[in-house]
Amino acid sequence: MKLKIQLFAGIAERIGTSVLEHDYPGEQPTAASLKESLALAYPEAAAQIRSAFLAVNQQYAPASAAIQAQDELALIPPVSGGDGSDASPDQPAITAAEHRTPDGMYMITTSPLSVEATTRLVITANHGATLTFVGTTREMTGEQRTVHLEYEAYVPMALSQMAAIGAEISERWPGVQCAISHRIGKVDVEEISVVIAVSSPHRSDCYDASRYAIERLKQAVPIWKKEIWEDGAEWKGHQLGPWDPTKNLDN
């Protein structure tokens, strides 16, 4: 079975392509068997492939999920994936673009972010509390100086995962509204990479929901961050133990 698989971040760099055509030696692969077939075919990236999740039609797939030839497939590396390789995948440079969910509450863009514009999305007459989290590029981490960051995203899945975070928040804290804007491409020191705005009738829910949103964003949304230093580079991200984007934060 011939399958087309999208690759990202460190896996794309290690293999040298962002779209892979793979001849699976069988008729009915599962997510687990496809990953193992890829690991054997690309031993230089085997460790990263085995620790990645397979996304099928923009959803994280369990190991037993059956794969069909027409499925949209993507290999999602751990958000902390990458090995600092300087190789470049054969993907075009990011050009100016903006992508939103139909309701306009969740956005991925190559343009500078506006804290005010994202915050306005959640302000309503019946909410007395609004909290906005702003993530910016930090220059120094210990003794290491970051020159800039580069963000990459599996855009359609990232947007659907952001919307899922909003739905989870609404279920946990009824009435709370959430909006998330994330930048991709090059983000310089002191520039904004993410804005999360939350509003609610009372402030306690705002604090809890805002923290939940950023932690879930780091855990489940397929956006990768590459730190560019004066003497090298490395993909960074989720660094809170074994990566499992399907695991509930309460577990």
CATH number, residue 11: 3.10.20.30
Which of 66-70, 74-78, 100-104, 197-201 is predicted least confidently? 74-78
Estimate the crossing angle of helix 203-220 against helix 155-172, to 10 degrees: 150
Indicate whether 69 and 128 sit together in one domain. Answer: no
Q: Please state, for a pLDDT cut of 90, what percent of the chain lies above it.
A: 80
Considering the domain boundaries, does residue 244 fall inside one?
Answer: no
For 66, which DSSP code?
A: B
Domain final residue, candidates 41, 76, 111: 76
Domain final residue, candidates 76, 108, 135: 76
Considering the domain boundaries, does residue 20 fall inside one?
Answer: yes
Is the pLDDT higher at 82 or at 133? 133
pLDDT value at residue 91: 44
pLDDT value at residue 54: 97
The predicted-structure confidence for 195-218, as pLDDT tens digits, reads as follows 999 999 999 999 999 999 999 999
pLDDT above 60: residue 81: no
| Residue 25, domain extent | 2-76
46/71 Cα distance (integer angstroms): 23
Confidence class for position 94, pLDDT limits 50, 70, 90: low
- In three-state secondary structure terms, 131 is strand
Indicate whether 39 and 106 sit together in one domain. Answer: no
Considering the domain boundaries, does residue 108 fall inside one?
Answer: yes
The predicted-structure confidence for 126-148, as pLDDT tens digits, reads as follows 999 999 999 999 999 888 999 99
The pTM is what? 0.90
DSSP string, 10-63: HHHHHHT-SEEEEE-SSSS-BHHHHHHHHHHH-GGGHHHHHHSEEEETTEEPPT
Please say whether the beta carbons of 163 and 206 come within 8 A: no
pLDDT above 90: residue 238: no
Indicate whether 102 and 35 sit together in one domain. Answer: no
Confidence class for position 87, pLDDT limits 50, 70, 90: very low
pLDDT above 80: residue 95: no
pLDDT value at residue 83: 38
The answer for residues whose C-beta is within 8 angstroms of residue 111's C-beta and 6 or more apart is: 96, 98, 183
pLDDT value at residue 57: 98
The predicted-structure confidence for 22-71, as pLDDT tens digits, reads as follows 999 988 999 999 999 999 999 999 999 998 999 999 999 999 999 999 99
Considering the domain boundaries, does residue 125 fall inside one?
Answer: yes
Is the pLDDT higher at 71 or at 249? 71
Say which CATH number the domain at 197 has: 3.90.1170.40
pLDDT value at residue 80: 39
Please say whether the beta carbons of 10 and 29 come within 8 A: no
Confidence class for position 101, pLDDT limits 50, 70, 90: very high
Indicate whether 133 and 25 sit together in one domain. Answer: no
Considering the domain boundaries, does residue 55 fall inside one?
Answer: yes
pLDDT above 70: residue 90: no
Q: Domain count for the chain, please give it.
A: 2
Indicate whether 129 and 176 sit together in one domain. Answer: yes
Indicate whether 145 and 203 sit together in one domain. Answer: yes
Indicate whether 112 and 186 sit together in one domain. Answer: yes
Indicate whether 40 and 127 sit together in one domain. Answer: no
Indicate whether 64 and 162 sit together in one domain. Answer: no
The answer for residues whose C-beta is within 8 angstroms of residue 193's C-beta and 6 or more apart is: 113, 135, 136, 137, 149, 151, 182, 183, 187, 225
Q: Please state, for a pLDDT cut of 70, what percent of the chain lies above it.
A: 90
Average per-residue pLDDT in the chain?
90
Considering the domain boundaries, does residue 91 fall inside one?
Answer: no
Indicate whether 229 and 107 sit together in one domain. Answer: yes
Q: What is the mean pLDDT of residues 182-188?
A: 97
Please say whether the beta carbons of 201 and 126 come within 8 A: yes
Indicate whether 31 and 62 sit together in one domain. Answer: yes
Indicate whether 28 and 129 sit together in one domain. Answer: no
